[in-house]
């Protein structure tokens, strides 16, 4: 109950702080927008955007190769899990064999003691 109240107070305080910051900065942002509209020259940011669009690193992207890589990684993962489960099975079988031998010896000992 107390933690909910504290979280609510922090949330409201954060919203209030964001509101105050936005209220103070909106006039400044509006003047910046007017300055950019007045400039007809190509700015550095627009040049960078245009160059990035021209570069386009995904031009030669092949979905088949990507799919092959993903499938090989999945295959490797399944093979690793398969070997791990196989190792676990072997250990369990060895433990079972040891217990089975011990049980057989137990009954043999009792039979010898009775005779």
45-62 CB burial, b ≥16 within 10 A, e <16:
eeeeeeeeeeeeeeeeee
Tokens of 61: 């992207």
Distance CA 3, CA 96 (A): 52
Query: Is there a single domain that holds both residue 73 and residue 105?
Result: yes
Structural domain boundaries enclosing 24:
1-59
Q: How many structural domains compose the chain?
A: 2
Query: Is there a single domain that holds both residue 43 and residue 77?
Result: no
Domain end point (choices 42, 59, 76)? 59
Mean pLDDT computed over 63-78:
92
Write the pLDDT tens digit of every residue in 7-41. 889 989 998 998 888 888 877 777 776 665 555 55
Query: Is there a single domain that holds both residue 40 and residue 83?
Result: no
Q: What pTM did the predictor assign?
A: 0.39
pLDDT at residue 75 above 90?
yes
Query: Is there a single domain that holds both residue 53 and residue 71?
Result: no
More confident residue, 54 or 11: 11
Tokens of 78: 């399944």
More confident residue, 65 or 43: 65
Query: Is there a single domain that holds both residue 1 and residue 55?
Result: yes
């Amino acid at each position: 109950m107390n933690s909910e109240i504290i979280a609510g107070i922090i949330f409201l305080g954060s919203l209030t702080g964001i509101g105050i910051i936005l209220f103070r900065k909106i006039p400044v942002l509006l003047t910046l927008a007017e300055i950019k509209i007045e400039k007809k020259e190509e700015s550095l940011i627009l040049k960078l955007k245009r160059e990035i669009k021209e570069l386009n690193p995904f031009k030669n992207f092949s979905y088949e190769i990507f799919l092959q890589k993903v499938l090989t990684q999945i295959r490797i993962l399944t093979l690793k899990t398969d070997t791990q489960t196989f190792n676990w099975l072997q250990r369990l079988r060895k433990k079972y064999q040891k217990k089975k031998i011990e049980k057989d010896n137990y009954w043999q000992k009792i039979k010898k003691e009775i005779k």
